[in-house]
Every structure is written in structure tokens, then in C-alpha cells.
Amino acid sequence: MYTLGLSALYHDSAAAVVKDNSIIAAAQEERFTRKKHDLRLPVNSIEYCLREANVAAEDLDAVIYYENPVLSLDRVVRMGMAVGPPSVKHTASTLSSLLSHKLWIENQLRTLLGRLGREDRLLYAEHHMSHAASAFYPSPFMDAAIVTVDGVGEWATTTIGHGHGTKIELTKEIRFPHSLGLLYSAFTMYCGFKVNSGEYKLMGLAPYGIPKYYNIIKDHLIDIKQDGSFRLEMSYFDYLVTDRMIGEKFERLFGEKAREPEVKITLHQIDVAASIQKVTEEVVLKLARHAKEVTGSKNLTMAGGVALNCVANGKLIREKIFDSVWIQPAAGDAGGALGAALLASYQHLDQPRKLGDKDSQNGSLLGPRFSGNEIQKYLDDNNLYYTQQKDESVLHDIIADELSQGKILGLFCGRMEFGPRALGSRSILGNPRKMDMQSKMNLKIKYRESFRPFAPSVLLEDLKEYFELTQESPYMQFVAPVQEARRKPFDMDAHRNGGKPIIDIVNVMRSDIPAVTHVDYSARIQTVDADRNPRYYKIINAFKEKTGCGLLVNTSFNIRGEPIVCTPQDAVRCFMRTEMDILVLEDIILYKDHQKLSQYYDEGDQEYELD
């Protein structure tokens, strides 16, 4: 039996196909359209998923949308009535969007697909149930607590539930307008970053700061109860009456106007970021403790956009509230498509659920792949010079040798990752022992802010040699400290008080793996094992055999404002327009200094919005 799950029309549209109890394919629409966080109907993702599953739309056993637009309409109307005249213009605009297309998703899908499966109907899940299903069903647990936290879906912004076997029950919720996700996004905007995109930046900026505004936030903006429930003081926020998250009262509270995008970051924004991060971690930990109390489970699963806050996730691990924690790799709205498909499979079609040795997310390598013939044809048609190395061990030795010399390499192989993290299939790799690697990759490859950290991909068996993490992290969902023995001392206070920009400390040696060690001695870790991604495992192992170091710098294969590359064409374009040295496409190697670059600068390629 086949189910197609869809998320669309808000942000991060996606599609996913499940066969019986197996995840066959999942992909975000942005990867095909090259528009980051694309919200449009996922036409390309649907086409890919059906092709990968080898099933026609009319032969699907269920088509399911990840939320209920009628309940979203109910929220907009009721909130508009509750707020009254100040919200009239904003409510009218939101209603116009709902009534013009979001409410009629079924009609749009019929135009695209014709019959909606064998029963010719569209099922609707509730938004947080889709998140909960995406967290619980692929997890390696038959019994687990479930916590979902995001901006808003219909009415809910936070839920606690319990999963057992094929059944999920959500028992507690916090309702809009009280939202931890929207609170974090308000600070994202205040610090000059883009909402629904720049939250990663806020999290990455926080370790540079001191949480000096923590008490102000708790005294004025959010009332947090012991069970993790909370209420916001809405007079400081404008999202009920305008498209802007915050108003003048919010700015007065912190003594400065919101930073304009691209303006120099100051200590003020750095300390504000540290403060809201600390508050967020407090709420997440209290929610987790309460979930443990009400479910009695020893396992926790999480989804929703806030579940991508891997710093909070790392602290959750270290608190040892649960024996094991599993977080959906595509925890945001894209993952809702997968959750909806799984929900239909288990609860509508009554499929049995089986557990294996690991989770059933298949390494989150659920996107399209490309054959060597397809790649070669593109390269030949575009007069690109390349060599081919069919001997896998020799190829891995070449990659390891180039990386050991400080070269930066784009790796494109196998199926594309589902979710916001590159996990070794669409990755840019570097040598973690090189002091200048972080700033070089940020400024010359990614074209992004120099303060943003990079993640290490570490062999699972070497995890404890480098990091203080007690469980695997195959999907880059946990931040943990670098082992103390590997750290090098430096004086943070001296840098804060020395009159130089605090962000300059990115260039200070903090460990013997400086390119992946953040300013607080932490790292966002991906553990790599031979089962989930055997080729990537062999590459890191080849690097270890050459250098003695069992990890690599891993960042997503894209530049700032661009989605992760999907096709060989995307990979070549990104390679040619940055200062990457080498590109590996399956078993094909391209060296930058062998190529003619001018065509990739003169052809008027798409420019991407700032993120």
C-alpha cells in the first residue's frame, strides 16, 4: 500500500511516499525550484516521489495533507475577532491568503494529479499530529514520549504526546498566540536576521554572548511554569496585527532599535541572542521533564521547527531526563509531509509497525540520485574537463590526500538528503585541523557571516575520542562539548573587553580541531556509521588512515541564500562560482584549475535572496 504525504503553502513545501511501513522517498520543493524555503505546491517533489516509488497517482491508497486548513481558518477568524480593530487589515490579508488558495488545496491537487488515489479523496492530518508522527514512527522506539514545538499549526504551538506501537495520542497543548517558535523568531528579526531562515544564525551567535537580558525576557515577555507551559505578554509583539513580529515596545524594552539586515553585529545583538537561547533551553528542558512525568516512557521523540535547535537538544541529552532521544531530521514543515504519509499508513491503512536495529529514516537519504552516465553527459555537453576513477578505494585515497593538504572539496554522491542538513551526499568537506578552514569556508565558499560554525562528521567509533556525547547523532541534531583534553585555553573576557569585535575570536585556536570547535568549545556533531552512509564512512576512514584524524568538516553544498544542490548541474554551478578546489560527482573528479570559469560568471545565473 502506498501513501503520499504533502506539506505546502506556508513554507518548506515537500512530498513523501511510504510503501506499507517503509519510507521510499521524500524531498523538499526548494531543491528542484532553487527557491529557498519554497512554499508553493510541491509539483516537482510529488513527481519525483511517485517516480521513485514507481506508482501512479491514481494507484495511491491514500493522499494526505499535513494540516487542516479549516482549523487554521477558525484560528484566524477567532483571533481577529478577539483582537478587534487593530488587527482588521492583518486579518483581512491573512483571510485573503487562506480563502484564495490555502483552503482549496484539494482542488489544486486534483488539477495536478487527477484522481487522488484509489478512493479519490484527500485526507487531512492536524499539523502537530503530522509532526508527532514524523518524530515517533521513524524512531527506533516502540514506546516514546513525543514533544512537538514550532511557530503555529492550526491552533497548537506546542504539544506533548505518547506513542506506542502504531498509536499516537497528543494529550497536552499550548495554543496560539503563545508560541516558543514565534518568540525565538521575534528575536531572530530583532537581531537583523530573516524569520523562518535566520534562526540558525541566532543560535550560532549566542555562544559569543552573555545572557544579560535573560531576566528581562522572563520578567516581561514570557511566563514559564514548572511543567514547561508558558504564556507570552502579547503587548510586546505585533504578529497579531501586522506582518512584523515586534513593535516599538519590544525595542524600548531592550534599549535599541532592531538591527537592520547586513549591518555590523554588535555586542548588544550577541548578548540578546545568548539570552533568548538560554530561555529557549529552559522551556525545552521543562517540557521534556513534564513529558517524562505524564508518559512514564524512557524514550523521547521530537519534531517541529524548535526541535532543530541542536544546542537545546544537546543540553537535553546531558540532563539525562530520558535514556534515549530521537529527533526527526526534517523537523520543520517539510517533515510534516513525511509524518502525514506515515500517519495515513499506520492509522488509516492499519499497516503493522516493525522495528529494526536502527531508525527507519534510512539515513535521511531519501532524495533523487543520478547515474554516472547522466553526469558524464552533462559534463561532456558543457566541455568540462574531468577524470574518472572507478576503483573506489583509490578514489577515497585521492579525496583524503587532497583534504589533508587543506583543499576544499564538494562531494555529490548517492541520494540527496531530506531535511536541512547535508549528511555526506551533498556536502562541502574540509580538514578540521586547519586553523583558517572555518573563516575560509564561510567567506570564500559559503559567502556568509564569519561567525557561523561548521559541523564535524566523525566516525561513530571515534565519537568519544573527540566529543562529550553519550549517544549517536547521525542527523546532526545535537551540540556537545569537545573533549577537554583537546581544548586550548583562551580568555573570552579579554576579547570582550579588549575593544576589538568579539566575532574576531573565530580566528583564535580553541582546540586541536579548530575548524569545528565553536567559541564555547562546542560542536554540532554528525556521527557516521557504515550502515547509513557506507561511502561517506569510507571517505572519512581514508582520511583517518592518512592523517590519524577520524573526522571531517562538513557543511551543506550550497552558497548563502541557495538551497542545497540537487542535480549535477546545481553542483557544478556552485563549484564553479565559489573557491572550492575539487568537485567529486560519484566517481568523477573535477579540479578547479583545469576548468574555464568565465561561462559560469557571464551566463546570468540566478542570484539568490539573502537568507
Q: Read off the pLDDT of residues 349-399 as tens digits, 9 standing for 90 and up.
A: 999 999 988 999 999 999 999 999 999 999 999 999 999 999 999 999 999
* Alpha carbon 316 to its chain's center: 18
Query: Looking at 105-114, 162-171, 434-443, 555-564, which range is the least confident one?
Result: 434-443
Alpha helices in 364-517 (DSSP H): 372-381, 392-404, 437-440, 463-466, 492-496
| Parent domain of 123 | 1-138+329-360
User: Are 497 and 386 part of one and the same domain?
Assistant: yes
Which CATH number characterizes residue 437's domain?
Answer: 3.90.870.20
**pLDDT value, residue 603:** 46
* Nearest of 178, 158, 157 to residue 286 by alpha carbon: 158
- Would you say 300 and 147 are in contact if contact means Cβ atoms under 8 Å apart? yes
Q: Distance between CA atoms of 160 and 423, rounded to whole angstroms? A: 29
- Mean pLDDT within 126-146: 98
Residue 608 lies in a domain: no
Q: Read off the pLDDT of residues 269-312 as tens digits, 9 standing for 90 and up.
A: 999 999 999 999 999 999 999 999 999 999 999 999 999 999 99
pLDDT at 573 over 60: yes
Q: How far is CA 130 from CA 11, 125, 389, 469, 542, in A?
A: 15, 6, 44, 29, 40
Alpha helices in 427-564 (DSSP H): 437-440, 463-466, 492-496, 534-547
pLDDT at 84 over 70: yes
**pLDDT value, residue 388:** 96
Q: Read off the pLDDT of residues 236-256 as tens digits, 9 standing for 90 and up.
A: 999 999 989 999 999 999 999
- Mean pLDDT within 446-458: 84
Q: Read off the pLDDT of residues 510-550 as tens digits, 9 standing for 90 and up.
A: 899 999 999 999 999 999 999 999 999 999 999 999 999 99
User: Are 387 and 500 part of one and the same domain?
Assistant: yes
Torsion of CA 400, 402, 405, 407, to 10 degrees: -120
Residues in contact with 225: Cβ distance below 8 Å, sequence separation at least 6, in sequence order: 286
Residue 318 lies in a domain: yes
Q: How far is CA 307 from CA 353, 420, 477, 543, in A?
A: 24, 12, 8, 32
User: Are 415 and 563 part of one and the same domain?
Assistant: yes
Residue 119 lies in a domain: yes
Is residue 498 very low, low, confident or very high in pLDDT (cuts 50, 70, 90)? confident
Average pLDDT over the chain, rounded to an integer? 94
User: Are 85 and 221 part of one and the same domain?
Assistant: no
For cell 569556508, name the residue: 441
User: Are 156 and 288 part of one and the same domain?
Assistant: yes
Give the H/E segment covering residue 383.
none
Task: State how many domains the chain has.
Answer: 3
Residues in contact with 29: Cβ distance below 8 Å, sequence separation at least 6, in sequence order: 8, 13, 14, 15, 38, 40, 41, 42, 43, 44, 45
Which of 319, 338, 360 lies at the terminal end of a domain, its last residue? 360
User: Are 114 and 203 part of one and the same domain?
Assistant: no
What's the pTM value of the predicted model, to 2 decimals?
0.96
Residue 611 lies in a domain: no
For cell 541564500, name the residue: 561
User: Are 43 and 69 part of one and the same domain?
Assistant: yes
Which CATH number characterizes residue 355's domain?
Answer: 3.30.420.40
Alpha helices in 101-169 (DSSP H): 105-113, 127-136
177 residue type, one letter: P
User: Are 211 and 68 part of one and the same domain?
Assistant: no
